[in-house]
Structure 1
Amino acid sequence: MAADDRFNKDFRDPNRDQYHSVRSETISGPVTDWATDFSHLDPRWTADPFPIMDDLRQRCPIAHTERFGGAWVPTRYEDIAAVAYDTENFSSRSVNVGNFRPPRDLAPIGEAPPITSDPPFHHGARKLLLPAFTKTAVARLEPTTRAYCHSLIDGFEGRDVVDAAEAYAQKVPEQVIGDLLGIPQGDRKLFRDLIANINREDALDSRDEHVEQLSKMFVFLLAEIKEHVRNPREDLISYLLEVELRGRKLDPNHIISMMLLLFAAGIGTTTKAIGSSLWHLAGNPRDRERLVAEPELLPTALEEFLRAFTPVTMARLVKDDMHWRGVDMKADDWILLSFPAANRDPAQFERADEVVIDREANRHAAFGLGIHRCLGSHLARMELRVALEVWLERIPEFDLQDPSTVVWGGRLARGPVCLPLSVGRRTPLTPDGPR
């Protein structure tokens, strides 16, 4: 391949300039009233949000807070869906509620296209990525994903207690996304360290820290892209270097933004989904034993895990002052879209607060709603299914070492960040599979 002129000059990381405060107001401390002083940063929300959601749904279905410069929190499925589908009144230019907002002129592209893009730019930007996430494309990643899961469990040899969050759930999506992008094995440790830094909860609270971590990742990704220019290969980076949007190849910032999206939407979320599923099975032996005995039930069960323990919470920004469903919203107010709340709404799901692993009617919103429904849903389902299949094959007996030691985290993707499991007998792997 001839040298690509897009990469023959030095690029200054745009992340250093694009963030600024807009109507921001830092209000710290514990929540006094969830209906009028909501904060998804309160540890009680992360530890167990479902009683809070139920209370709000009954007495104040659209909660409000002055924190973060003003934010609204709908808790009913119908309200959350209405916002998700309404691109006329709500912008996606940032999907993380925080103390700073990107400027309005960043629309319609947003921080990390296509998830932060508004129409009309969104359609073309999303369409570019679709070929990489079809069922056929994802199927090609399954054998290496399965082999990697087995290698992780092989590494548990001699251990009676395993932190399944750190040693298993977190590692699987990192490996898969690294394979998808074609990150060389020699760069994987740095890759994992950088991902850990940009996904740190405390980094999101500081503008300078947030920008610094994004800038480090920008430098790493730009180097990977330049290497792909010199040595093309069969992976997503090389694919993005060749595709065109509106008759032009993508510029480096657009490619890197798409890659950052994969890290945010494709690693943290799937990590938490795997961890939450293992947490439930460790604490509910009847469900665990049934899935071990009936592995064909797993595809149905994982949909229920996705519904009951939906990790993802996204956001929108109000475009203009308006009266909406009984409340007065101001331009640039945040709307926190809690898909976990939508999936626990009893008006939408029977026995909404129960985990029913053979639930048949299950049109959940775990992958979002509207134009931004997760384009990587096939990939996420494959990772979750394979991770659980391999674990249940190899470690059919496990339980929580001590429920009090489980730590939940994640304001944007909630799930266990510390999950010590006592592991019983392990099935050895033979050339013919587990036995």
Structure 2
Amino acid sequence: MTVDDRFRQDYQDTVRDRPPGVRNEIITGPVSDWATDFSHAEPEWAADPYPIQDELRSRCPIARTERFGGGWLPTRYEDVASIAYDTERFSSRAIIMSNFRPPKEAAPVGGSPPISSDPPFHHHARKLLLPAFTKSAVTQREEATRAFCHRLIDALEGKEVVDAARDYAQHIPMRVIADMLGFPPEDGPRFRVFIENLLEGINLPPEERTARVESLYDYLLDQIRDHVERPRDDLTTYLVDAELGGQKLHPSHVAGTMALLLIAGIDTTWSAIGASLWHLARTPADRERLVADPGLLPTAMEEFLRAYAPVTMARLVREDMRWQGVDMKADDWILLSFPAANRDPAQFDRAGEVVIDREVNRHAAFGLGIHRCVGSHLARMELRVALEVWLERFPVFGLADPAAVTWATGQVRGPRTLPLRIG
């Protein structure tokens, strides 16, 4: 059996043929009461979740839903942080709240280590990735990222209206992650499909969702085969050659980590760039201030991350328990809303406002606890460079049609279409 055959067979044995877990029926439809029937898959949530979260925080800080097989939504920073740090009572074996639960046997590794891993395995899986995401490693990618941003802007020059989400924001992390993993840069359009399938397709019938997930892993296994045959200096070859406890990583571990880097590494940053540009397009005073004082951008960027945090993660309750006054059952979902935590008035002064010179800003946009984003240095670099180049090349811009802006549904929220008028 060739190395490629081993990767493919082991993946099928451990991922495709594992016990099916718990599946539930269709989960979308009008919400009757957000406190007892919440759903992050609804269009009103995607369009503007903040008033919903604010109302829940004041009326019912831990909302309940019977959708998804049952789940909870804490909206206070204190509760979100408490769950994020508590790996004894809350498992990370599934981080996408949907109509499917992986079986308990999936822990402690999960499908996409280390984000889906529980201790003690998580520590070792995360440690493997740290060298690729240090500040010094990220700094080495800044020049190429800046040059790529300028090439994207070059292609937009002369246009009166541009889609800053589709024509600019999405391409930046696609190129950076493709370069890191050693994937063909022309495969960017396929990455977008993978992202939409995994993060926005949670209401699909399980069979169709499984087929779409398999298309991603088929692609990743093709990349693994190519790297086994032609090793080079990139993150995929590093993962193929890596060891834990003196053993090569299991093929499902390699493919799962690659999936994590591809999906999360692209969509989160794409969304953060787009949301920042959306804010500046609709807030001329902030845009003009940053154009006049570029040195303020790193501070403003942290505020954009706080106010428009793109990522919400999920956890699963390990055992029946009473927690913060509610009775949670084993395998109940917890929708861990970092965006809601970031707008808690008990944690942030003027929490509902975007204050671009906010000095104290310990936001949770990159998560909290052991699963805090390993790629935060990379995301910050991409966001900063993307905004620097845009403001340098297009200092004057605004929303071409506010009603035409659309936002992603699901657990990573950012503009999917963002038509801006230049000049």
TM-score (norm 2): 0.95
SS of the aligned residue for 1:68 comes to helix
CA distance in 2, matches of 1:231, 1:23: 40
Shift of the alpha carbon at 1:7? 5.0
CA distance in 2, matches of 1:288, 1:172: 21
Does the 8 Å contact 1:201/1:411 carry over to 2?
A: yes
Shift of the alpha carbon at 1:366? 0.2
Shift of the alpha carbon at 1:234? 1.2
SS of the aligned residue for 2:420 comes to strand
State the match for 2:87 in structure 1.
87
Does the 8 Å contact 1:312/1:412 carry over to 2?
A: yes
What is the 5 A alignment of 1:32-431?
Answer: 32-185=32-185, 188-189=187-188, 191-192=190-191, 194-199=193-198, 201-202=200-201, 205-424=204-423
SS of the aligned residue for 1:143 comes to helix
Does the 8 Å contact 2:24/2:99 carry over to 1?
A: yes
Deviates more, 1:125-134 or 1:214-223: 214-223
CA distance in 2, matches of 1:370, 1:158: 46
CA distance in 1, matches of 2:328, 2:6: 46
Shift of the alpha carbon at 1:193? 5.4
Shift of the alpha carbon at 1:232? 1.6
CA distance in 1, matches of 2:48, 2:179: 34
CA distance in 2, matches of 1:281, 1:155: 21
Q: Cα 1:259–1:80, aligned 2, differ >3 Å: closer, same or farther?
A: same
Shift of the alpha carbon at 1:176? 0.6
CA distance in 2, matches of 1:28, 1:313: 18
CA distance in 2, matches of 1:56, 1:110: 31
CA distance in 1, matches of 2:315, 2:150: 40
CA distance in 2, matches of 1:53, 1:194: 29
Does the 8 Å contact 1:93/1:118 carry over to 2?
A: yes
Deviates more, 1:206-215 or 1:29-38: 206-215
CA distance in 2, matches of 1:198, 1:412: 13
SS of the aligned residue for 2:105 comes to helix
Shift of the alpha carbon at 1:6? 6.7
5+ unaligned residues in a row in structure 2: which ranges?
A: none
| Superposition CA RMSD, Å | 1.8
Q: Counterpart amino acid of 1:309?
A: Y
Does the 8 Å contact 1:24/1:100 carry over to 2?
A: yes
Percent of aligned positions that are identical? 62
Does the 8 Å contact 2:169/2:273 carry over to 1?
A: yes
CA distance in 2, matches of 1:272, 1:189: 16
1:350-380 Cα shifts (integer Å, max 9, x gaps): 0000000000000000000010000000010
Q: Cα 1:200–1:335, aligned 2, differ >3 Å: closer, same or farther?
A: closer
Does the 8 Å contact 1:270/1:380 carry over to 2?
A: yes
CA distance in 2, matches of 1:71, 1:421: 38
CA distance in 2, matches of 1:46, 1:8: 41
Q: Cα 1:190–1:152, aligned 2, differ >3 Å: closer, same or farther?
A: closer
Does the 8 Å contact 2:199/2:410 carry over to 1?
A: no
CA distance in 1, matches of 2:413, 2:95: 15
1:297-317 Cα shifts (integer Å, max 9, x gaps): 100000000000000000000
Does the 8 Å contact 1:315/1:334 carry over to 2?
A: yes
SS of the aligned residue for 2:30 comes to coil
CA distance in 2, matches of 1:128, 1:56: 39
Q: Counterpart amino acid of 1:322?
A: M
Shift of the alpha carbon at 1:199? 4.2
CA distance in 2, matches of 1:60, 1:209: 35
Q: Counterpart amino acid of 2:156?
A: F
Q: Cα 1:321–1:9, aligned 2, differ >3 Å: closer, same or farther?
A: closer
Q: How many residues align?
A: 421
CA distance in 2, matches of 1:259, 1:78: 32
Shift of the alpha carbon at 1:224? 1.4
CA distance in 1, matches of 2:94, 2:393: 41
Q: Cα 1:199–1:154, aligned 2, differ >3 Å: closer, same or farther?
A: farther
CA distance in 1, matches of 2:134, 2:149: 22
Does the 8 Å contact 1:172/1:271 carry over to 2?
A: yes
5+ unaligned residues in a row in structure 1: which ranges?
A: 425-435
Does the 8 Å contact 2:317/2:332 carry over to 1?
A: yes
Q: Counterpart amino acid of 2:287?
A: R
State the match for 1:432 in structure 2.
none
State the match for 1:428 in structure 2.
none
Q: Cα 1:166–1:19, aligned 2, differ >3 Å: closer, same or farther?
A: farther
Does the 8 Å contact 2:8/2:221 carry over to 1?
A: no
Q: Cα 1:23–1:151, aligned 2, differ >3 Å: closer, same or farther?
A: closer
CA distance in 1, matches of 2:35, 2:43: 16
CA distance in 2, matches of 1:28, 1:284: 33
Does the 8 Å contact 1:194/1:217 carry over to 2?
A: no
CA distance in 2, matches of 1:321, 1:9: 38
CA distance in 2, matches of 1:247, 1:291: 51
Q: Cα 1:204–1:387, aligned 2, differ >3 Å: closer, same or farther?
A: farther
Shift of the alpha carbon at 1:143? 1.0
CA distance in 2, matches of 1:9, 1:260: 15
CA distance in 2, matches of 1:50, 1:10: 43
Deviates more, 1:227-236 or 1:311-320: 227-236
